Structure 1
Amino acid sequence: MQTSRDKKMDIDRKFSKDTNEILGMQMDMDNMANRKMDKKKLTGMKMDTAKSKHMKMDMTKSKDMKMDMDMGMSHNEMGMDMNKMKRLMEGYKYHVMLDITSKLMFCWNVNYSNRTVSIRVTCQLPPNYWFGVGFSDYGEVTDADFVVFWNDPVSTHHLQDSYTDSNGVLHADHSLDYTLHRARTEDGLSILEYTRPFDTCDERDYLLDNGTTHIVYFVSKGTPSTCVGKDVRDLHHGFQRVQLLKPDVHLPPLPTDVWTFEITAPKVKIPGSETTYWWFITTLPILHHKHHIVRYEGVIQKENEDIVHHIEVFHCVGRKHVHPYSGPKVPEGKMDPTSDLASCRNVIGAWAMGAEPIIYPEEAGSPIGGEGFSPFILLEVHYHNPHLRTGHVDSSGIRFYIYYNRSCR
């Protein structure tokens, strides 16, 4: 008999299939299901708490900020100044926007020498709101590993290493495996900087590995005296998928005469539904001779970083003309096999949330152009919009780096 946990794993496999294929990751789902294993307690890298259950931090009271938790608010109302975003990302190689409404951003660096991740979390909330950020196996807020920040009724700031049980209820994690380095407010933003090991040897903590990591979060109004006992399922929450532990590899230099072009969405008005696959037929630049793709990367519109889940670019094979199309994906099994869209099946570029540029080895490349090469391209963009927001217009896509050499690579 299939258990509820087995069913959740099946669902997660199906939902994550595209992302895992794009990132080229092989995930051992049985290993993920058994993360909670017996381990020896780690003696180092503890948060200095003077034996208290939580840390009290001296922070300047943040200014009173207005926040509309209505998920239908317009993009212009929710946007963050791009210059401010760049400042918040300084010193960190990777970032992902978790929640555009509360401007909740997660930035990180990976240190393989001491096997730790350095994290900066920023959030724009009024002082009477509290929030948590962490990790879980399936992007759910049950059985999750959290760091929680809140103000109590007397305006004392607290940071708590926490976890949730199978019912989503918060508990204090007395192992305290997060090291706080800095906490401050700046231009109405709460900014926390801390580190944690890949493996804390704490059965309550999430084990960071090279696969897809689900970053979970919650935001709620209130000034609780403690976060313990709160049911996170009743709060505004969500998750993002990223590859947290990026490979630390040397990237080969590009030829000096490389040029680029982009295949992007045509200012798509993102529907206010949870999942949308958008298709767009367009054409390649005119290439009379065979060229080679030597690199490609995602070009993601900043204000839609938390909605654009993954992108694929398909080449339409054959000499058949492909008619213009821009709209929702034709459902699986419902496409007419004689349709010209059915010829668009060869992937030449792909991106998923958190992915780095793909660079071919110096001696390799993906051929495009030349005599008999179809110019037609199908762009597919997956929009993941769990809060059903409206008013977003998107032109995300993929940038290709092209090289021409009379002798084949």
Structure 2
Amino acid sequence: MLEKIEDSVVIFSCIMHFILVIWIAVFSPSVKSQMTPSDSYSHSTMLQSGKILLYWKYTDSHITFEVIGQTTGWIGIGFSSNGAMTASDIVVGWVKNGAVTVTDRHGGSSNTYPPIDPQQNIEVLGGKELDGWTMIKFSRQIAACEEEYDREISTNTERLIWACGNTDPTGDDLVSGDYHNTDRGVESIYFFEPSTNFADLPTGPTYDTFDVLASNFLIPAERTYYNCILYKLPDFGGKQHIVKWEPVIQLGNEPYLHHMLIYRCGDIMENESELAKDDRCYSPNMAHFDTCTTIVFEWLLGAGAMTFPAEAGFPVGGPGDPVYVQLEIHYNNPNMVAGVRDNSGYRFTYTPTLRKYDVGVLQIGNYVNPKEHFIPPGAESFKSIAHCTNECVKSRMSVSETDHVTAFSVVLHSHEAGRKMRLRHLRNGTELPYLASDENYDFNYQEARYLNPSVSLQSTDNFQLECDYNTEGRVAITEAGLGVREEMCLAFISYYPKIDLSFCQSSVTMYASWQYLDIDMTKVNKVENTPGAILSHFQLTGPSNVAGKTVFEYMNELNWTQQKIEDFESFYNAAQHHGFCIPSNVSETTVTPFEPISIETPYVSPRKECLVGLPTPSSQTTSHGHKTTSSAIILLGILSLIFMLIV
């Protein structure tokens, strides 16, 4: 009997030691400065404050989020069309006394306390609190399952709103007093980027790298700053292929970097002393910046490396390839911290083992000319439609001895007044799915859209680029131009094999649009000694009531009612256009008048349908979406095991 008791004591002691080890491993906080995600994810980003990390992955029907915030209170994210809480779809969660609560909510009639939804269309997957950080994990359908309160997570740029509180709710749920103070913000995010663009680099070829980096740049103590630097590419000793690019982000500077762009610039620079000098972007200090108009590489916060398709590479070092590039870095410094220096930029991997195809970049859109592309002031919406005709595409494909190319990426580009963009793809009068579209365009978030699968562009295809602008609050005409307060309507298509076509654009001539606005073209003079073609450089000589005014002044004084804006939009988009078909040798440019084609069978984007019933949560939940952390159940099971072993 005594031996049995002694054996039982030994067994009990061993099991209790085991319990202690498990208890410490599971429930004791480890010493960490930041919580790591509980799962592997295809996408992630750090929100502006650096206090919230967002991870996500998705299937055809569902999207899973893990939100990690530097707080021991509640954290929340929301999906909004304009960055406001009003009419947004919100999820808020917290961990209190070991219990995880995640709730499905919505923005009310004002930017205050978000009421809880009648239906909880989320599945709570977990949560914890550790060393001053809180994590919540949940999934939801991509579709909007509660029409009045939910928002579909679309392929547009989403305005993600976020907030956090310092403490948990005092009761079982949030109340209006649980205010987030200044710990809140809004981010633009594109959630459905393919997680792997293309396969890893093949083994066999030799690879080398070169960097285009900032050089110990002192980030200004300003909320937003765009820094631009000109670089001359290395002497490659002959043609090479860039097969991969990746961001190089200086450790610790992640919260300050919003995006980085590489532009191709003109191939002749009269003054190379401008190279490697920092300057505020879109300023007139360096003349060569004006030639840097084609985006060829783009990185935004949260994005990773980009590997080109195995059969194609971006050409450098050969005839007609880029010589000079511009690095643009958008720094975001909301707390206006001083003294931070940065050496971030790009690393490019290239190989002398040439691939089958060169990657080309085709620019489609409105010809950037202020006297031909301009937008009325005070417009809630003004749509401008540019064209790339099949006559241009066919002629340049024929020169390159092909009848089709393969598109794998699109970048949409307008400036601060841009609100919506669509790159439409037409074949034989029928519209195919959009090559790219964004109903919530954000100038500060020009995310490349990778086409998965790639899309065949044929010599018989036409393309239309729609740009929808908002100029409410502006009292003057917005002209086309390079400045952010000027406008563009452009799309950059990355494709292969490269053909001899750089620009396929259109515009309505001044002789049509100015006459529509009752300007007598026989009474217009160019102001002497004025470079360029902006509207203020043209002066009216009559009739007498407008004589002496510039065209810019005349247009600003027109009574731009909403009806007049709509009428001008209808005229502009239906008027005869001139197409600009511009190859690498600009002397071979053709300019052809054409009538805009109508779309006989418009494409209708499919809408996600809510599936009936979410999967049953894997753990216990309450009617408010609370997930219970059942440490007591785990302990009870272990004690039951002890009892059985002893007995």
RMSD: 3.4
- Does structure 2 retain, via aligned residues, the 8 Å contact 1:292–1:368? yes
CA distance in 2, matches of 1:89, 1:260: 34
- Does structure 2 retain, via aligned residues, the 8 Å contact 1:117–1:195? yes
The residue aligned with 1:212 is: 157
CA distance in 2, matches of 1:227, 1:277: 39
The residue aligned with 1:133 is: 77
CA distance in 2, matches of 1:240, 1:96: 10
CA distance in 1, matches of 2:316, 2:212: 14
Equivalent residue for 1:403, pick from 351, 361, 366: 351
Q: Quickly say closer, same or farther: Cα 1:253–1:88, change in 2 above 3 A.
A: closer
What one-letter code is carried by the residue in structure 2 that aligns with 1:163?
Answer: H
Q: Is 1:279 paired with 2:228?
A: yes
After superposition, give the CA deviation of every residue in 1:238-295 in whole Å (9 maximum; x if it has no partner). Answer: 1222221223666245343232222122232222222211012233222120112223
Equivalent residue for 2:198, pick from 245, 251, 256: 251
Q: 5+ unaligned residues in a row in structure 2: which ranges?
A: 1-25, 358-647
After superposition, give the CA deviation of every residue in 1:289-346 in whole Å (9 maximum; x if it has no partner). Answer: 01122232333335333432211112332232432353342436x467xx23333334
- Does structure 2 retain, via aligned residues, the 8 Å contact 1:145–1:162? yes
State the SS of the aligned residue for 2:121: coil
Deviation at 1:106, TM superposition (A): 0.8
After superposition, give the CA deviation of every residue in 1:18-57 in whole Å (9 maximum; x if it has no partner). Answer: xxxxxxxxxxxxxxxxxxxxxxxxxxxxxxxxxxxxxxxx
Q: Quickly say closer, same or farther: Cα 1:330–1:212, change in 2 above 3 A.
A: closer
Q: Quickly say closer, same or farther: Cα 1:229–1:155, change in 2 above 3 A.
A: farther
- Does structure 1 retain, via aligned residues, the 8 Å contact 2:228–2:280? yes
CA distance in 1, matches of 2:69, 2:42: 19
* Bigger Cα displacement from structure 2, 197-206 vs 370-379: 370-379
The residue aligned with 2:308 is: 360
Q: Is 1:331 paired with 2:295?
A: no
Equivalent residue for 1:196, pick from 131, 140, 157: 140
The residue aligned with 2:106 is: 163
Equivalent residue for 1:98, pick from 47, 60, 65: 47
State the SS of the aligned residue for 2:289: helix
Aligned positions of 1:9-408 closer than 5 A: 84=34, 87-88=36-37, 91-100=40-49, 103-112=51-60, 115-125=61-71, 127=72, 129-150=73-94, 158-169=101-112, 170-203=114-147, 204-224=149-169, 225=171, 226-229=173-176, 235-247=182-194, 251-255=198-202, 256-320=205-269, 321-322=271-272, 323-331=274-282, 334=284, 339-370=287-318, 375-405=323-353
The residue aligned with 1:36 is: none
Identity of aligned residues (%): 25
- Does structure 1 retain, via aligned residues, the 8 Å contact 2:79–2:151? yes
After superposition, give the CA deviation of every residue in 1:155-182 in whole Å (9 maximum; x if it has no partner). Answer: 9764322111231121111211111111
Q: Quickly say closer, same or farther: Cα 1:206–1:272, change in 2 above 3 A.
A: farther
What one-letter code is carried by the residue in structure 2 that aligns with 1:315?
Answer: R
CA distance in 1, matches of 2:166, 2:310: 53
After superposition, give the CA deviation of every residue in 1:84-112 in whole Å (9 maximum; x if it has no partner). Answer: 56x437512221112545x3111111123
Deviation at 1:380, TM superposition (A): 0.5
CA distance in 1, matches of 2:208, 2:235: 13
Q: Quickly say closer, same or farther: Cα 1:362–1:275, change in 2 above 3 A.
A: same
Deviation at 1:150, TM superposition (A): 4.3
Q: 5+ unaligned residues in a row in structure 1: which ranges?
A: 1-58, 66-79
- Does structure 1 retain, via aligned residues, the 8 Å contact 2:267–2:323? no
State the SS of the aligned residue for 2:228: strand
CA distance in 2, matches of 1:91, 1:155: 24
What one-letter code is carried by the residue in structure 2 that aligns with 1:197?
Answer: Q
Q: TM-score, normalised by structure 1?
A: 0.68
Deviation at 1:196, TM superposition (A): 1.0
State the SS of the aligned residue for 2:237: coil
Q: TM-score, normalised by structure 2?
A: 0.45
- Does structure 1 retain, via aligned residues, the 8 Å contact 2:46–2:301? no
- Does structure 2 retain, via aligned residues, the 8 Å contact 1:265–1:397? yes
CA distance in 2, matches of 1:147, 1:119: 10
CA distance in 2, matches of 1:350, 1:206: 29
Deviation at 1:233, TM superposition (A): 8.0
Deviation at 1:367, TM superposition (A): 1.6
Q: Quickly say closer, same or farther: Cα 1:245–1:370, change in 2 above 3 A.
A: closer
What one-letter code is carried by the residue in structure 2 that aligns with 1:294?
Answer: V
CA distance in 2, matches of 1:210, 1:391: 38
Deviation at 1:379, TM superposition (A): 0.7
Q: Quickly say closer, same or farther: Cα 1:182–1:223, change in 2 above 3 A.
A: closer
State the SS of the aligned residue for 1:326: coil
Q: Quickly say closer, same or farther: Cα 1:235–1:330, change in 2 above 3 A.
A: closer
Please list every run of at least 4 consecutive aligned residues from structure 1 whose deviation after the TM superposition is greater than 4 angstroms. Answer: 59-63, 154-157, 230-235, 371-375
CA distance in 1, matches of 2:279, 2:152: 37
Larger Cα-atom Rg: 2
State the SS of the aligned residue for 2:290: helix
- Does structure 2 retain, via aligned residues, the 8 Å contact 1:132–1:217? yes
Deviation at 1:402, TM superposition (A): 1.2
State the SS of the aligned residue for 1:195: strand
CA distance in 1, matches of 2:221, 2:179: 25
State the SS of the aligned residue for 1:342: helix
Which of the pair has the greater relative contact order for Cα pairs under 8 Å at 6+ separation?
A: 1
State the SS of the aligned residue for 2:37: helix
